[in-house]
Amino acid sequence: EVQLVESGGGLVQPGRSLKLSCAASGFTFSNYYMAWVRQAPKKGLEWVATISTSGSRTYYPDSVKGRFTISRDNAKSSLYLQMNSLKSEDTATYYCARPPPFDYWGQGVMVTVSS
Amino acid sequence: DVVMTQTPVSLSVSLGGQVSISCRSSQSLVHNNGNTYLSWYLQKPGQSPQLLIYKVSNRFSGISDRFSGSGSGTDFTLKISRVEPDDLGVYYCGQGTQYPWTFGGGTKLELK
């Protein structure tokens, strides 16, 4: 059974950093691209980042480019999202998901950016 | 960026009824490789989104044949027949043809 379990969320002040993790199991992690998708409270879905199987290629929307970094450790079947210079508009539930399409999703982890 | 527009924003249905949700993209979703990466997701209350349909019309594993997807180019439709209580929630379309990947704003399906 495919499982994606996020961790690392919490309350953080604007301008600070936070790193999310996603532990994957039930499939050969190194064979799949992986991604992060977020959902602000009561809002829709927004794609945040994608990483290739080896980690050599990464993709971001303009809203997070230069501030967020996606990475992976295939030996540990783990995905990460380093979030720097956080803003209030980054407040959201962050989902780890397997693209494309997003066939499996984690349960999500809440990130609140507030002073 | 490809803008995905879903209509209606909300929909009321009676159990056992049929509904259609429209999703239109601002650009063609046909990839250079000939595939059209248009997917549909359902987010039930308090849950993570789940994949229903991928590449326009392919049902994901375990998804009932009451769900069907159709369309081409920039115009797509999700149809749900014989609506059941477990179908209620917010439906999203999403495109993976072109970066940045984008989603529609969502359609909330409620009971009449």
Question: How far does A60 lie from chain B, in Å, by closest CA?
Answer: 7
Return the half-sphere exposure (C-beta side, CA atoms, 13 A cut-off) of residue A88.
Answer: 2
Which of B48, B60, B100 lies nearest to residue A95, judging by beta carbons? B48
Determine how β-strand B4-7 pairs with β-strand B58-59. unpaired
Res B107 pLDDT > 90 = yes
Q: Which amino acid is at A35?
A: A
Kindly state the average pLDDT of the residues A13-38: 98
Determine how β-strand B107-111 pairs with β-strand B10-13. parallel
Coil, strand or helix at A1:
coil
- Inter-chain CB proximity A61 and B100 less than 8 Å: yes
- Inter-chain CB proximity B103 and A47 less than 8 Å: yes
Tell me the residues of B at the A interface, defined by beta carbons under 8 Å apart. 1, 37, 39, 41, 48-51, 54-55, 60, 92, 94, 96, 99-106
Kindly state the average pLDDT of the residues B26-41: 98
Q: How far is CA B6 from CA B10, B22, B91, in A?
A: 10, 6, 9
CB burial of residue A99 (10 Å; 0-12, 13-18, 19+): buried
pLDDT digits (tens, 9 = 90+) for B41-75: 999 999 999 999 999 999 999 999 999 999 999 99
Mean pLDDT of chain B: 97
pLDDT class of B36 with cuts at 50, 70, 90 = very high
Instruction: Quote the pLDDT of residue A100.
Output: 79
Instruction: Quote the pLDDT of residue A59.
Output: 98
**Among A4, A45, A46, A104, the residue to mutate for chain B (most B Cβ within 10 A):** A45
Q: Are A43 and A29 in contact (CB under 8 A)?
A: no
Tell me the residues of A at the B interface, defined by beta carbons under 8 Å apart. 37, 44-47, 50, 59-62, 95, 99-108
Kindly state the average pLDDT of the residues B24-53: 98
Instruction: Quote the pLDDT of residue B59.
Output: 98
pLDDT digits (tens, 9 = 90+) for A48-107: 999 999 999 999 999 999 999 999 999 999 999 999 999 999 999 999 999 979 999 999
